Chains A and B, each alone.
Chain A
């Protein structure tokens, strides 16, 4: 397992029959800026992948030898455009993870002017409930001018040769809905309208699309497990049999360089719940593509984010973003994956 720490899960998987698949999008769609946080989902036999395209390119000097003039971790967007814009590109892949088609989702319900500088639906997880295809992420440009964020379900359908938004479902936070920003809720793919809002302690919420309210369905604050860091949402939550569910979460170390400038490191972890939403297993934290380690502090510096996973024909497919700039799909034989989950 030492390979996992040193070289990452992708290296681990490739040595055991897995494969890694780079996803690229044409320059006409991206202008060469970041494509990230992809969410894979198998819908009616089709392998779909939502890719978040942003108007920036992350500059991250992991080794700190060549930081940007503003610091080692910087979001480089156009100098005349102080906004962080997100578009979503929906792709169809074949079973070899080769691109069959890709097109930007037409957001038909973008009617009013954005109220904040983060535009678009961010980090959308792709899933279907009742055979309706949804992308659920956080939107921060519709609530106030201070960046208030709420999860939104965007219903999409392929119409007239393009992916189009046909419905938008803003989801209030449970309780008084007074929080500043809700993000990274994980849809439970076999439980319509349910999300894992928080992992530790596990909070499952249910959104009622008729009353447009959200209620907590599961929460036992006494079940707080000892973890290195908070577990933040990652992929969809998928059933793995016997009422159990599994997902990948992410964790963040917010770091500073010698001059106090921001830096960061992301880890991931696999979480397994039993039928009663008790966390019955969690792996060690890991990263995907390897990282650089500061030899004096032991700190690692890498930014990755897995926002999609699916089981298909004896394999698990995990889609993740690398440094906010790249998109990959890791394909692992199920047996290898569960062996890893069991060992790690």
Chain B
């Protein structure tokens, strides 16, 4: 694989986009099915557990002395990025929704809105700014991690 700044940006952008899409879907489920998920662990807790193996995969499989248990492809890197960054974004989205005034959701439900309408037309626009900040943090984090991988695989082991 030929590493370049464009590749790093593309991989980070793709992984962020997929993380945001999956994270918002999960946040919707966690927001609307609150009683069932009240005891669920905070997703960001997984981040520390996942980071090390993901980085190991990135470096180990791609480097000269790596195990290479998964072909070192763009898709593989995006999947790894989503596994690494997804929980972080989900945590940010969940916090953003939890910080909203519950009165707005109640008012919308009282007016006959479905859970999806409450989420898409009330919760999402109201939490847009913190979600955007969460997505930007995830993108920058991935960029930094991929830059390390690029540096390690492209220069150190070249």
- Are the chains A and B members of one assembly? no
| Chain B residues packing against A (C-beta within 8 Å) | none
| Chain A residues packing against B (C-beta within 8 Å) | none
